[in-house]
Amino acid sequence: MERLEDNDIIEYVLLDEEDGSVMMAADNPWRGMAEELNELHFVKGADFVDQLRHIVYWGGFRLVEGETNIFSALGEQNEDYDYLLNAARKAVEHGYRVYILPNPKGIRTADFIFERKGVYKMFDLKSIIGKSSVSNRLTESIGQTNHVILNMMTDYNARLLAKDIKMYFEANKDAREVLIMKGNKFLSVSRRFVEGRSYIKMFMKRYLR
């Protein structure tokens, strides 16, 4: 395996990130949020990124009152809204513009679209509270998106966390990134890092410092 340097764990823009082309809105009329989100299950690469842009442009997102760079198409009455807003604020602190997605009935969707410097990603949020198993929560995201946020709201053994993330990448061949939020930490873990040498040791060093 390729030897990685200590700072390879933090990759705010992945080297193999999808690259979208410029899309003309007139060429892709809006069909409603449910259909547009469902379309994400059938497109890849540049077409996937174009679809994210299309949803952001036409999806009726509104700036969340009292916030900066957080937009939502989801009602505040949603039971997960506070968790979503908490994670969104942390992402904004690191330079992202955040779009909180709705969850239309019958469609498996992620929770966010993040945009920074023209790069669009879709993330599913897993807030880890109490003794929740990270492994099980990551498994839940398979089929929704290839980028997952772990918002660590409890103490969790660092070695076990590293192993859980490795198991997730092994179980999901399409997985690209696990983004860990813990306090002021904002660690982006890619498949390349997980498959490199001394992964667990290097992960623990970054996570615990």
Asked if residue 127 is part of any domain, the answer here is: yes
Domain count, the chain: 1
10 Å Cβ neighbour count for 189?
A: 27
- The region that residue 32 occupies, defined by phi over 0 for left and psi between -120 and 50 for alpha, beta otherwise, is left
**Structure confidence by residue, pLDDT tens digits, 93-136:** 999 999 999 988 888 899 999 999 999 999 999 999 877 689 99
Asked if residue 2 is part of any domain, the answer here is: no
Taking each helix axis from N to C end, the angle separating 199-208 and 158-171, rounded to the nearest 10 degrees, works out to: 130
Asked if residue 204 is part of any domain, the answer here is: yes
pLDDT at 79: 84
Q: Are strands 185-190 and 119-128 parallel, antiparallel or unpaired?
A: unpaired
Asked if residue 137 is part of any domain, the answer here is: yes
Low-confidence ranges of the chain (pLDDT < 70): 1-27, 132
149, 87 Cβ separation under 8 angstroms: yes
Tokens of 183: 């306090």
